[in-house]
Copies of this chain bind each other. A is one copy, B any other.
Amino acid sequence: MSTRLGELVERLGGQLVGNPDIEVSSIAPLDVANASNITFLSNPKFRTKAAQTAAAALILSPADDEVIGASYPGARIVTANPYAYFARAAQYFEQRKRVRPAPGTHATASVDPTAQIASTAIIGPHVTIEADVVIADGVQIDAGCVIGRGARIGANTRLYPRVVFLDACEIGENGIIYPGAVIGSDGFGLANDGGVWVKIPQTGRVMIGNDVQIGANTTVDRGALVDTVIGDGVKLDNQIQIGHNCRVGDHTAMAGCVGVGGSSIIGKHCTLGGAVGVAGHLTITDNVHITAASNVSRSINEPGHYAGSYPLAKHEDWQKTAAVTRNLDSLRERVRELEKTIKTLTKEEPS
């Protein structure tokens, strides 16, 4: 199932330098690529390697092309962002190979008669679809998923096996939800009454935009009185927890194990590294980037890179630094005392 370079460029753009009739069948890294592969150069430090690759074709930037274009014997696709081009080319090859079940509802699925399911949708084994669900064209719902009453799944979105997507929640087009994710579980809303917790019903929904990706076993809670909102193009990795009433801005990405407390608002184009924690009721502006394992306990109003995690050390060294950390306040006091004494001493000195 090979593809002509000419066809690839027609679909994905870029400037082809070389024979459009050369055929490639997949993508491979610079050093393992062979004559049936296309490869890519996204980091200038690999220019020498790229010039020597055995691939039939090379995706590279104009700047890299100027330096090594002449010395590479194969075909070149010149494009501003070779890494993104690689991603799109890989998608193209992958979609051609993908085995997609035939449209229709598996015999073992349990579907409420009031659900509206597009004829082009695929509903897998042991799926449960409750009343008034709306499933658009090209949707794929894999084995064991449960779609709650009145939920809506937009065109070409795929739910991997065992996703739970609860009542009245919605996701837009071209989304992907990975196995075990739970969308629309109740938020953690409780009132304390003399030491006993009283549950606050969670009557909001989860509203998810287009082109959103939600990782395996990630959970996004429904809102209490308002909706939890996940913007267009948001990418959430595995094991993430998003609390009720949160709003995550368009094209923000979060790595695995992030936790976001309830009612926090995160801007657009942010990135949160793995296991970052965000307390509840905070606002993080657009274009904020937070290093893995940091804890955000105040709002962030200025774009930029933030971090905060205790440095790793040999266990015995950490024990010493932790002991000092525990008494940092007194260490500061001692420095203050020293400063005062020195001030007195230096004043006493004759000039």
**Which of the segments A1-9, A44-52, A61-69, A139-147 contacts the partner chain?**
A139-147
Also in contact, A110 and B128, with CB within 8 A (given A86-B200, A277-B275): no
| Number of copies of this protein chain within its complex | 3
The answer to whether A312 touches B296, judged by C-beta atoms less than 8 angstroms apart, is yes
Report if A208 contacts B (CB, 8 A). no
Measured CB to CB, the nearest residue on chain B to A198 is B87
The residue that A143 contacts in the complex, of B88, B128, B292, with Cβ under 8 A, is: B128
Also in contact, A293 and B277, with CB within 8 A (given A251-B195, A345-B346): yes
Report if A74 contacts B (CB, 8 A). no
Report if A334 contacts B (CB, 8 A). yes
For A28, list chain B residues within 8 Å (CB): 225
The answer to whether A292 touches B261, judged by C-beta atoms less than 8 angstroms apart, is yes
For A201, list chain B residues within 8 Å (CB): 87, 90-91, 93-94
Measured CB to CB, the nearest residue on chain B to A320 is B329
For A14, list chain B residues within 8 Å (CB): none
Report if A172 contacts B (CB, 8 A). no
From 21 to 64 in chain A, residues with beta carbon under 8 angstroms from any chain B beta carbon are 27-29
- A303-332 interface code vs B (CB 8 A; 1 in, 0 out): 011111111111111111111111111011
From 134 to 182 in chain A, residues with beta carbon under 8 angstroms from any chain B beta carbon are 142-144, 146, 149, 160-162, 164, 166, 176, 178-180, 182
Q: How far is the CA of A128 from the CA of B320 in the complex (A)?
A: 54
Most interface-central of A126, A178, A233 (chain B CB within 10 A): A126
Report if A279 contacts B (CB, 8 A). yes
The answer to whether A182 touches B84, judged by C-beta atoms less than 8 angstroms apart, is no
Also in contact, A324 and B318, with CB within 8 A (given A84-B192, A259-B257): no
Also in contact, A91 and B274, with CB within 8 A (given A124-B128, A164-B162, A341-B342): no
Q: How far is the CA of A293 from the CA of B276 in the complex (A)?
A: 9
Report if A266 contacts B (CB, 8 A). no
The answer to whether B144 touches A162, judged by C-beta atoms less than 8 angstroms apart, is yes
Complex A-B: 22 CB contacts under 8 Å: A29-B225, A91-B198, A108-B108, A108-B110, A126-B144, A128-B144, A143-B146, A144-B162, A146-B179, A160-B164, A176-B199, A180-B217, A197-B213, A197-B253, A217-B239, A238-B241, A241-B256, A274-B277, A295-B310, A331-B332, A331-B335, A342-B345
Q: Assuming A325-B325, A335-B338, what are 14 further A-B pairs, CB within 8 angstroms?
A: A88-B198, A91-B200, A94-B203, A99-B131, A128-B143, A144-B162, A237-B241, A295-B310, A297-B309, A298-B312, A308-B313, A320-B328, A321-B325, A345-B346
Residues on A lying within 8 angstroms of B by beta carbon are 27-29, 81, 83-84, 86-88, 90-91, 93-94, 99, 106, 108, 110, 124-126, 128, 131, 142-144, 146, 149, 160-162, 164, 166, 176, 178-180, 182, 185-186, 188-201, 203, 213, 215-217, 219, 221, 225, 233, 235, 237-239, 241, 243, 251, 253, 255-257, 259, 261, 269, 273-275, 277, 279-280, 290-298, 304-329, 331-332, 334-335, 338-339, 341-342, 345-346, 348-349
